């Protein structure tokens, strides 16, 4: 997959927007970031719950990173399956979305 595929997946989520975040691209729900993309557009940073990290690390192209106390998944787009990236984006979006937008 590539950045265009990632953008399509992220912006398909309800109320998702694309906005700059310093020199990165960010995807947000109601102003809250759920994923970022560095300028080279070859990978993404996705922020999921700690309990979801171990399962995600079993997939190709996914690695754990830290920025200060923040833990996130760095996903190399060329190595990742679209279904995995889609599921991670949905999980990250759901962490930030208003409760009224969540299913069930």
Q: What is the pLDDT of residue 75?
A: 98
Q: What is the pLDDT of residue 88?
A: 98
Over the stretch 61-90, which tens digit does the pLDDT of each residue have?
Answer: 999 999 899 999 999 999 999 999 999 999
Cα 5 to Cα 13, 49, 80: the distances in Å are: 13, 23, 11
Nearest Cα to 39, choosing from 19, 26, 24?
A: 24
Cα 82 to Cα 18, 31, 40, 45: the distances in Å are: 19, 25, 19, 15
Over the stretch 27-73, which tens digit does the pLDDT of each residue have?
Answer: 999 999 999 999 999 999 999 999 999 999 999 999 999 989 999 99
CATH topology of domain 3-101: 3.90.1150
Q: Domain map of the chain by residue range?
A: 3-101
């Amino acid at each position: 997959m590539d950045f265009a595929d990632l953008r399509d997946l992220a912006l398909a989520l309800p109320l998702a927007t694309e906005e700059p975040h310093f020199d990165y691209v960010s995807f947000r729900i109601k102003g809250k970031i759920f994923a970022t993309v560095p300028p080279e557009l070859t990978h993404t940073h996705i922020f999921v719950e700690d309990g979801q990290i171990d399962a995600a690390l079993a997939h190709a192209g996914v690695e754990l990173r830290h920025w200060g106390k923040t833990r996130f998944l760095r996903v190399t787009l060329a190595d990742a399956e679209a279904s995995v990236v889609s599921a991670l984006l949905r999980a990250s979006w759901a962490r930030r979305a208003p409760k009224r937008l969540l299913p069930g």
